[in-house]
Amino acid sequence: MSRPVARYRPSRRYFVFALLAICGTAFSAWTALHWPSTWIAAALFGATVAALITLLCQPTVEIHEGHLQLGRRVIFWREIRRLDQTGWIAPLAVNLTLANDRRVRLLYAGDLDSSTSLLRYLRRYSRNALLDGIPYRQAWGEPGQTLEAGKAPEPGKTPEPSAEHQAPPAVHRPLLRPEEEEEIERMFQRLKSVGRLDQRGSDE
């Protein structure tokens, strides 16, 4: 088994959040014995506890050169056909579509920096996938050549880039303004006639 390039475990702050939510649930439930209206707060705290525990129970995410590992589950990068982000960044939630239309939702309880780092690894290694519906090369801005549909390049001949990929023609801009060119032309004619430039003598 290869050594992971990166390993992502749940952030400790989510353990703190879960502990606070558990304390809030217990306090709200105790208060509800005297004021029934606080059962609403207890229910909200309870839902928060359930969500945090779900995140914390997610397996460790490991990035390998040849595959993605979620706990004991191994997903080869070549199997990933789509990678779609959701509105969740920290914690991170990503939908993976594998071969044969199998779907996996990756959940990671991390802070913003680690979640962003994990997402970048996922996007970089999923070379056969559409990234949010965009082809891999286009999403990463990598150069590529475009051939006409149904037309293969001739053997031994490098395909010519399409018109949209050709370099724009060079634009030649004048170095001098028209009045400067006229002044230089007058000085050159004066030099030819007298053999030297003498602005004061010409003025006289």
Our count of domains for the chain comes to: 2
- Name the DSSP letter for residue 82: E
Supply the CATH number for residue 105's domain. Answer: 2.40.50
Indicate the residue among 121, 140, 159 that finishes a domain. Answer: 140
**Are 128 and 87 part of one and the same domain?**
yes
**3, part of any domain:** no
Indicate whether 83 and 121 sit together in one domain: yes
Same domain, 136 and 71: yes
- Give the whole-angstrom CA distance, residue 151 versus residue 160: 12
Give per-residue burial for 73-104: e unless 16+ CB within 10 Å, then b.
eebebebbbbbeeeeeeebbebebbbeeeeee
Pair (22, 52) in one structural domain = yes
Residue 164: predicted pLDDT: 41
pLDDT at 175: 53
Both 38 and 82 in one domain: the answer is no
Structure pTM?
Answer: 0.61
What pLDDT is attached to residue 100? 83
Alpha-carbon distance values, 72 to 17, 18, 111 (Å): 27, 25, 23
Place of tokens 């789509």: 82
Per-residue pLDDT of the chain (204 residues; tens, 9 = 90+): 578 889 999 888 888 988 998 998 888 888 888 888 888 888 888 898 898 888 888 899 999 999 999 999 999 999 999 999 998 888 999 999 998 889 999 999 988 999 999 999 999 999 999 999 999 888 888 765 443 434 444 444 444 444 444 444 444 445 555 666 667 777 767 776 765 544 444 444
Residue 170 lies in a domain: no
Query: Residue 172 to residues 123, 167, 169, 198: CA-CA distances in angstroms?
Result: 42, 15, 10, 34
**Residue 14 burial (10 A CB sphere; 0-12, 13-18, 19+):** middle
Structural domain containing residue 84: 67-140
Residue 79 lies in a domain: yes
88: in domain: yes
In-domain check, residue 15 = yes
Please name which of 129, 12, 9, 103 lies closest in space to residue 62, comparing C-alpha atoms: 9
Report the C-alpha gap between 10 and 18 in whole angstroms.
Answer: 12
End-to-end CA distance of the chain: 95
HSE at residue 24, side-chain half, CA atoms within 13 A, is 17
Return the C-alpha torsion angle 171, 172, 178, 182, nearest 10. -170
Assigned domain for 188 exists: no
Give the end of a domain, one of 140, 166, 188: 140
pLDDT of the residue at 192: 67
Is there a single domain that holds both residue 75 and residue 108?
yes
